[in-house]
Every structure is written in C-alpha cells, then in structure tokens.
C-alpha cells in the first residue's frame, strides 16, 4: 500500500500515519478489513466509503478546475 501511494501521489507515508488513517477509516465504516495472510491485512472500500470518496474527489476536481482556469487567465500572486 505504501508503494502504491508513493507511486501515484509522490508521498512517502510513515507507518504510524498509514495505520492511523486505516484505523480511522475502519472505525468510520469507510473500509473493511479482509482475511489476511501473516502480517499483511488487505482492506476493501465499503459502499458508503466509495460514496464519500466520490464526493471528496468531485470537490477536489472542482477546486482544481477553478485554479487551472484562473492560471490560464493570467492570475498570479504577483
């Protein structure tokens, strides 16, 4: 999981950060732990977690689109 996050997001998460986030998402019902092998514990996204993620990503898309439009229009911090 950490390798996947690093590849697509360019961010290296420390184990405490990752496990804390997984624990919080599980408590919130956004993910469910599956049967694991050894120390590895796979998770799956629940339907409510998928809906919440879709809403969050839609918001992020709108923010990015506005920012990109403003940059295209010559908007700058100067």
Residue with tokens 């120390």: 39
pLDDT of residue 77 exceeding 70, the answer is: no
On the 0-12 / 13-18 / 19+ scale of CB atoms within 10 A, 31 is buried
* High-pLDDT (> 90) share of the chain, %: 77
3-state helix/strand/coil string of 45-70: ECHHHHHHHHHHHHHHHHHHHHHHHH
Domains and CATH numbers, the chain: 2-72 (1.10.10.10)
What is the DSSP secondary structure assignment for residue 30, as one 8-state letter? Answer: S
Beta bridge partners, 33, equal: 43
* pTM recorded for the entire structure: 0.75
pLDDT of residue 76 exceeding 80, the answer is: no
Q: Report the mean per-residue pLDDT for the chain.
A: 92
């Amino acid at each position: 999981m950490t390798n996947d996050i690093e590849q697509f997001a360019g961010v290296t998460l420390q184990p405490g950060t990752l496990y804390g986030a997984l624990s919080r998402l599980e408590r919130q019902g956004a993910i469910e732990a599956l049967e694991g092998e050894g120390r590895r514990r796979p998770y799956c996204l629940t339907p409510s977690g998928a809906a919440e993620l879709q809403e969050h990503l839609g918001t992020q898309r709108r923010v990015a689109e506005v920012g990109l439009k403003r940059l295209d229009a010559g908007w700058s911090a100067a």
